[in-house]
Structure 1
Amino acid sequence: MYREIINDLKKWKNKSRRKPLLLTGVRQCGKTYIIDEFAKECFDSYVYVNFESSENLLAVFEYDYDVKRIVTELERHFKTKIIPGETLIFFDEIQECPRAITALKYFCENMKELHLVCAGSLLGVALKEKNISFPVGKVNRLQLYPMSFKEFVIANDREDLIEVFKDWPTDRVIPELYANPMERLLKEYYIVGGMPEVVKTWVETHDFAEVEEVQNEILSDYADDFSKHAPLSEIPKIRWIWDSVPVQLAKENNKFVFSHVKEGKRSAELEDALCWLSDAGLITKTELVEKPELPLSGAADKTYFKVYMSDIGLLRAKSRVSAQTIMDETDGFVRFKGAFAENYVLNELKSLGKEPYFWRSGNSAEIDFLFETNGEVFPVEVKSADNTQAKSYKQFCKKYKMRRGFKLSRKNIAENLCEATKTLSLPLYIGWNIDAYI
């Protein structure tokens, strides 16, 4: 299946100042698959080292950090000549070999010409919890997310629709010829999400029951990870927070409230558990910005935030909203409709490399997302229906007079002025192309 990150991998391959690459991403989002595809497409040979399934290879790193010796021993083990510039080495599940993580420093310094990629499940958690000497400044990084809506559309053999909307003009109404299939695909994406195994199941079967079976397996695997990898004292708290996310998202004021996780529990008792889920890539926090000043990270209130799930399909499965409810847009979907639209847009922005925040003025006004690009701040209002009237957005634009803003909804494309802010209304299904309109 097509993944956009392949283009970033190719750029990394040809960088003059290339370093070993650390590929991060939530478990089962397709890291191993995409590196296998990258190796097949761009290299003459490939050495795959899985430290979880081949524990004997840990011994290669126990003696010293002489990278020439390490490469020679890998050649001997895999009976493959490793040729810098022609061979890709992939250290998978690298968290199982802390000395291999430390060795990245020496590969960077002493064998720059070698192409080396590493990845691992729960790597963010492992790096914090284990006593690992991390090679700061000696690695390049890429983040892989679950498949975006654009990638989902392509996987469903509708790349033609992506081509249609690459440069769609703002003054041309989108006809039903293109809008209807995209709206249906978006509903399917809300149900299926972007986990590659789930998408593959959907493409092969078009059976929502089969899809849900795979999603529940992944959710069970995540729950097993809590028991295997989290500190014993944190496991119940992690489960409480994990189960609380869909419920808190569905609230009208969806600020994350620790006291709503478990009665009688305070933030000080639950913060470590929330951080564990964030480090594992399972959730994303967006923080409050009261004044949209650059950089947004400097203006953020880290104590006031919302929490979203990394995959819209898993959110749907965990919320127990039936597929048919979404396809038919029945009343049973009303409670979660806004939450799903917000979580979807958040994940799309993240997949575009943006770091979203949100703005709130007391309890009277809110902008769903703010992001910064090229020294500018852009507000994004999200609506799950075709009503784009938003007092909060108008209030924000009047106060801060941004150059450009966006409204994402079920409404057709249109452009207008809102208190001197040039505002583009985009259908939710082309949020993946927001950069083209900046």
Structure 2
Amino acid sequence: MTFKRKIYQRLLDWKANSKGKDALLIEGARRIGKSTIVEEFARNEYRSYILIDFNDCEKSVLNAFDKMGDLSAFFNTLSYTYGVNLYPRETLIIFDEVQRFPKARQSIKKLVKDGRFDYIETGSLISIYENVKDITIPSEETSIQMYPMDFEEFCWAVGKPNICDFIRSGFVARAAVDDALHKECMRLFKQYILLGGMPQSIVAFLENTYSFDFSDKEKRKIIELYKKDVQKIKGAYKGKVLSTFEQIPAFLSKHEKRVVFSKIAGGINDENSYENTFLWLSNSMIANNCFKCSDSNVGFGLNSDNSAVKCYMGDTGLLFSMAFGENQISKESLYKEIMNDKLAINKGMLFENAVAQMLVSQGHRLYFYTHFNQEKHRNDIEVDFMISESDSVGARIIPIEVKSSKNYTTSSLEAFKKKFKKRIKASYIVHPKNLSIREDGTVCIPPYMVICLT
């Protein structure tokens, strides 16, 4: 089962604009569908293609990369091994999981210069970084990042291809959508946070009479795969990465979801190693880090405070399966209970993680804001997310608060808006209710409308 993915258009744009002058590197976490979409692209847009999977590659092919002096002989080896005819300017050669064999990535410079064929590489980002010490990174390489299926792609997959058009229309008009449509969109959103955006999870759900149990089994396989990837880390902080990965649900279930490095580390060197663990998880795209911003200015990166971080799972469906044991889910039928709003769980963890996932897939880097009140000896302002956007005035900030229940307070957001009034373009509260606008101009949107915050 192949799903429609937005990245396909970016592949078309690359093919049209590159004209063989650079290779394309698609970076992303394992099991998000990189290989599937690239192979579909190759089938549809080229006369022939070869996919070299470096997880399972014949020795003759690996040895051929040591003899790049004669490219015609190299191409003959590929054509013979894979039984595929190669046609100049009409064949795509795919280096799948290229991080497993750095020599292949280094060869891109020479292959692109040769100009006979097109090249796409796929790989897990962190492994790419760890395996480039002894090679020259090719400048003839354009990289793009791929994520799990976003909410709109999910809607396409489950047979609701046009529903996001109605969502966008309501957002642009700043008007509540029809009540029946709102209920349907919230049903889909709850499915999305439970199933997630990993294609294998969605396939299992659709092919097994909409079974959450089959989906859960696929997600657990992916979680175990990620753990095995962590075990391959060459750095001394491998154990901390595994421990941190397994604790992500615990971090997010707390009221204060941020992790302060100095509080979990035993000393300054240990503190630095914990920073490395969160960096590894983020670079691998297994997790989405949200950094504390010390000053709510449009240059978030310039004011980033690396002393604290909120670590969200890259896929909310995986987070749910990590948070609850397999027996617990099966025994209590948690999925059905949650879909029917009959079970009280920490929805805030899931809603906030889903919003983080949706923002990242739209190209936003994640930042949050806190203000420590010296007199009260506590944080008196906390804003879940901040993004920036340009208008006629210039670049300005947009604070976003996430509320999983229908009843909530907004004192933090109100204090934030008062403190940074001149810098704010708009402010949003993400809540389970339909769209509404508060007297102070804050727009309250249901979570499925986060797709409109591009």
Q: How many Å apart are 1:142 and its aligned residue? A: 1.3
Unaligned runs of 5+ in 1: none
Unaligned runs of 5+ in 2: 373-378
**How many residue pairs were aligned?**
427
Structure-2 residue corresponding to 1:365: 381
Distance 1:74 1:207, change over 3 A: same
Structure-1 residue corresponding to 2:297: 293
Q: How many Å apart are 1:91 and its aligned residue? A: 0.5
Quote the Cα distance in structure 1 between the aligned partners of 2:299 and 2:222. 36
Q: Equivalences for 1:44-55 in 2 at 5 Å?
A: 44-55=47-58
Q: Equivalences for 1:410-421 in 2 at 5 Å?
A: 410-416=432-438, 418=440
Matched, 1:306 2:326: no
Distance 1:140 1:66, change over 3 A: farther
Quote the Cα distance in structure 1 between the aligned partners of 2:174 and 2:226. 45
C-alpha contact (below 8 Å) 1:241/1:261 kept by paired residues: no
Q: Which deviates more, 252-261 or 242-251?
A: 252-261
2:163 partner amino acid: L
| TM-score normalised according to structure 2 size | 0.87
Matched, 1:434 2:444: no
C-alpha contact (below 8 Å) 1:88/1:116 kept by paired residues: yes
Quote the Cα distance in structure 1 between the aligned partners of 2:404 and 2:303. 28
SS in 2 for 1:166: helix
Q: Which deviates more, 44-53 or 386-395?
A: 386-395
Distance 1:269 1:135, change over 3 A: closer
Structure-2 residue corresponding to 1:405: 427
SS in 2 for 1:403: coil
Q: Deviations over 1:154-197 (max 9, x none)?
A: 11101131232232243432122211111111111121111100
Matched, 1:382 2:406: no
Matched, 1:98 2:110: no
Q: How many Å apart are 1:261 and its aligned residue? A: 6.1
C-alpha contact (below 8 Å) 1:30/1:196 kept by paired residues: yes
Q: How many Å apart are 1:134 and its aligned residue? A: 4.2
Quote the Cα distance in structure 2 between the aligned partners of 1:299 and 1:66. 51
Q: Deviations over 1:1-41 (max 9, x none)?
A: 11111111111111147521111111111111111111122
Q: How many Å apart are 1:332 and its aligned residue? A: 3.8
Q: How many Å apart are 1:117 and its aligned residue? A: 0.5
Q: Equivalences for 1:25-424 in 2 at 5 Å?
A: 25-56=28-59, 57-64=61-68, 69-111=73-115, 114-120=117-123, 122-129=124-131, 131-135=133-137, 137-168=139-170, 169-205=172-208, 206-227=210-231, 229-231=232-234, 233-258=236-261, 266-320=270-324, 322-330=334-342, 332-333=344-345, 336-362=346-372, 363-374=379-390, 375-387=395-407, 389-401=409-421, 402-416=424-438, 418=440, 422-424=441-443
Structure-2 residue corresponding to 1:20: 23
SS in 2 for 1:9: helix
Quote the Cα distance in structure 1 between the aligned partners of 2:88 and 2:358. 36
C-alpha contact (below 8 Å) 1:65/1:106 kept by paired residues: no
Distance 1:327 1:259, change over 3 A: farther
Quote the Cα distance in structure 2 between the aligned partners of 1:108 and 1:388. 56
Quote the Cα distance in structure 2 between the aligned partners of 1:106 and 1:376. 44
Q: Deviations over 1:79-119 (max 9, x none)?
A: 433334322211112122211111122234442x7321001
C-alpha contact (below 8 Å) 2:47/2:87 kept by paired residues: no
Q: How many Å apart are 1:372 and its aligned residue? A: 2.5
| TM-score normalised according to structure 1 size | 0.90
Quote the Cα distance in structure 1 between the aligned partners of 2:202 and 2:86. 35
C-alpha contact (below 8 Å) 1:66/1:106 kept by paired residues: no
Q: How many Å apart are 1:65 and its aligned residue? A: 5.9
C-alpha contact (below 8 Å) 1:170/1:414 kept by paired residues: no
C-alpha contact (below 8 Å) 1:387/1:409 kept by paired residues: no
SS in 1 for 2:384: strand
Q: Which deviates more, 15-24 or 67-76?
A: 67-76
Q: Deviations over 1:313-368 (max 9, x none)?
A: 110010007323422434540xx211111110110011111112111111111111
Quote the Cα distance in structure 2 between the aligned partners of 1:313 and 1:407. 23
Quote the Cα distance in structure 2 between the aligned partners of 1:136 and 1:90. 16
Q: How many Å apart are 1:204 and its aligned residue? A: 1.8
Distance 1:131 1:16, change over 3 A: closer
C-alpha contact (below 8 Å) 1:413/1:426 kept by paired residues: yes
C-alpha contact (below 8 Å) 2:261/2:308 kept by paired residues: no
Quote the Cα distance in structure 2 between the aligned partners of 1:198 and 1:19. 34
Structure-1 residue corresponding to 2:375: none
C-alpha contact (below 8 Å) 1:244/1:261 kept by paired residues: no
Distance 1:385 1:366, change over 3 A: same
1:273 partner amino acid: T
SS in 2 for 1:90: strand
Percent identity of paired positions between Structure 1 and Structure 2: 26
Q: Alpha carbon RMSD of aligned pairs, Å? A: 2.5
